[in-house]
Structure 1
Amino acid sequence: MRFSVLASGSTGNSIYIENDEHAFLVDAGLSTRKLEKLLGEVGRDMKALDGIFVTHEHSDHIRGLGVTARKYGVPIYANEKTWKAMDGLVGNVPAEQRFVFDMETVKTFGSFDVQSFAVSHDAADPMFYIFHENGRKLVLITDTGYVSDRMKGWIREADAYVFESNHDVSMLQMGRYPWNIKRRILSDVGHVSNEDAAVAMSEVVSEKETRIYLSHLSKDNNMKDLARLSVSQTLETCGIRVGEYVHLFDTDAEQPTELVPV
């Protein structure tokens, strides 16, 4: 299993996952042209996709979904409430490309097992995904206001995480956003802060080599260096020595991460 975070942030999100048999995107929150470009930068082609898994209907996760579906004939997977919420947002997706992926279920594609789980976000029925193959585990978890004990049970002991580290609380509180937006981000259906993300990470990682990609950073209320420092310091406070077996990596809104094995 290999993956690349093609883009991550408030302007658009998409993650590419493959093995020797199948290739998928999770979300298509950028234009089709941009997705084609980003995939090309990691040496891959949209024509090889076997499906796109949708997490929720916010535009930074589905902006290019409809055009991509129609252009490439790729199957789209989302739960019922998300499909209904996307009506009118993605245009016509042919019936033969529309597949329902229920919450808290597993779909199998060859040696891939793809598991869905609920998160806490202000969308119709938001859910993220865990990819399993041959005992290896990749967890994708962003767009959640907090990480519940139930979520921690699902995501525990993965080999790699794409984990939300959305904002620095002080930057958000002192920033230019109106109060109603600040309140929404800080709420249980908003986004997790650097420190809260790190506390959750400390409770789910095990003492094995683990790669954590800090993702969905706010353009206005966070910075890569700050997120990495905050997460590192909080993990160290929780007794986890970063660099020993837990390794942190940046993601970017414009550039894909290296395509790496899990």
Structure 2
Amino acid sequence: MSMHFSVLASGSTGNAIFVETEEHSFLVDAGLSGKAMEALFSEIGRDMSKLSGILVTHEHSDHVKGLGVIARKYKLPIYANMSTWNAMERIIGEVPVEQKFTFEMEQIKTFGNLNIESFGVSHDAAEPMFYVFHQGDKKLVLITDTGYVSDRMKGIIKNADMYVFESNHDVSMLRMGKYPWSIKRRILSDFGHVSNEDAAIAMSDVAGDRTKRIYLAHLSLDNNMKDLARMSVEQTLQTKGIVVGEQFSLYDTDPKKPTELVLV
């Protein structure tokens, strides 16, 4: 058995993650245009027409911008919970009924030897949820777009081999930045996004002896920088007794370039 993944794009402008096994492959979110998504697939040497389906986390445009176009063009199944379906249908346009599937929160769906588990997060969307991919003893966790990481979430995502983990903003940059206070307050709220420091604290609680890689994801273009996010996370982890590079390594993601396709 083998499971590979690539963070195709991550950030305020669009998000998409590719996960594959020997038998199945899935796209998690399609937050870029159809043309941009096809270019990203080409960069990792994969064919979008071979996808088994698209998993949706929530209806915000940076996660569903290209969803309808891609699904219709390649006749792909879309999986989302009913609340998300109701919220995004006017955004993504008409999708044939035979391509619409429900995947409710805190369920597990099985595709061959791959089990996909959904779990709820805290974000200002209809019913936002993310996914854990299980294959044999391997575990890949995707968690962004949450205002905090609860004990319930931590129990579900604990001790994964690899994580794609939100590290959205630097609090000082956000507070001093150009955003209106209403948007700042939303981002800082329990229904917004996790800061660099809060992400690191959550990582220290869930990373285990099998954890090898953590990808810092969904960085704000205006309120964060890759080097700052990495430094903040490393420093906070160090206060928790975790030295990056010894137990696990940190990796960057990018809003326009995919990460290397890696084996979980």
Aligned length: 262
Q: Alignment identity in percent?
A: 69
1:64 matched residue in structure 2? 66
1:160 matched residue in structure 2? 162
1:247 matched residue in structure 2? 249
1:124 matched residue in structure 2? 126
2:47 matched residue in structure 1? 45
2:33 matched residue in structure 1? 31
1:199 matched residue in structure 2? 201
Check if 1:102 corresponds to 2:77: no
* Paired residue secondary structure (1:132): strand
Output aligned runs, 1:213-228, within 5 Å. Answer: 213-228=215-230
1:77-114: CA deviations, max 9, x gaps? 00000000012110011000000001000000001000
State the alpha-carbon separation in 2 of the partners of residues 124 and 65 from structure 1: 17
* Paired residue secondary structure (2:133): strand
Q: 2:150 aligns with which of 141, 144, 148?
A: 148
Deviation at 1:208, TM superposition (A): 3.0
2:178 matched residue in structure 1? 176
Q: 1:208 to 1:215 in 2, by over 3 A?
A: same
Q: 1:6 aligns with which of 5, 8, 13?
A: 8
Check if 1:19 corresponds to 2:26: no
TM-score (norm 2): 0.99
Contact 2:34–2:70 (CA under 8 A) maintained in structure 1: yes
Contact 2:134–2:140 (CA under 8 A) maintained in structure 1: yes
Question: Once superposed, which parts of structure 1, at least 4 consecutive aligned residues long, lie more than 4 Å away?
Answer: none
State the alpha-carbon separation in 2 of the partners of residues 245 and 45 from structure 1: 34
* Paired residue secondary structure (1:67): helix
State the alpha-carbon separation in 1 of the partners of residues 148 and 118 from structure 2: 17
Cα-Cα RMSD: 0.5
TM-score (norm 1): 0.99
1:176-210: CA deviations, max 9, x gaps? 00000000000000000000000000000112342
State the alpha-carbon separation in 1 of the partners of residues 211 and 128 from structure 2: 29
* Paired residue secondary structure (1:89): helix
Point out where structure 2 has 5 or more consecutive residues left out of the alignment: none
